[in-house]
Amino acid sequence: MKGYVYILKVRNGNRYIGSTINLEKRVLEHMRGKVFSTKNKLPVTLMAYRFFEDVKEASLWEKKYKKSHGQLERDIKKGILLLTPDGLPAGQSPLGGAAHSSVGRATPS
């Protein structure tokens, strides 16, 4: 089953790192204040995400990114994580348009 690691920017400018099998649904849950860990940090915006063929691998990379922000920064610079525009227009899908179709199959480096 596919999976994603995603990075949100929260109200105070910090990052939130998570993983999911349904990126669009999960990001919208965060944006609507339905996720305990971010509901008091609204607004949140999707900064970047990474696609995996296996959700277990996504979960492993979520943990790796949480432990090593250096690894996260390196993968962002290498283009392994797909960056998204800062903020989304109201009603727009976090994966709408060209961004969704350009998601690559990322592999650990």
Task: Tell whether 91 is covered by a domain.
Answer: no
Give pLDDT, residue 21: 95
Residue closest to 27 by CA, chosen among 84, 67, 107, 72: 84
Task: Tell whether 93 is covered by a domain.
Answer: no
Task: Tell whether 107 is covered by a domain.
Answer: no
Average the pLDDT over 30-43 and give the result. 96
Range of the domain at 37: 3-86
Phi, psi for 75 (deg, rounded to 5):
-70, -35
CATH of the domain at 59: 3.40.1440.10
The upper half-sphere exposure of residue 4, i.e. CA atoms within 13 Å in the direction of its Cβ, equals 22
Total domains present in the chain: 1
Give pLDDT, residue 109: 38
Task: Tell whether 108 is covered by a domain.
Answer: no
Task: Tell whether 67 is covered by a domain.
Answer: yes
Residue 3 has pLDDT above 90, yes or no: yes
Give pLDDT, residue 91: 44
Burial class (CB in 10 A: 0-12, 13-18, 19+), 55: middle
Task: Tell whether 77 is covered by a domain.
Answer: yes
Do 15 and 9 form a contact (C-beta atoms < 8 A)?
A: yes
pLDDT tens digit string along 55-98? 999 999 999 999 988 888 888 888 888 777 654 433 445 554 33
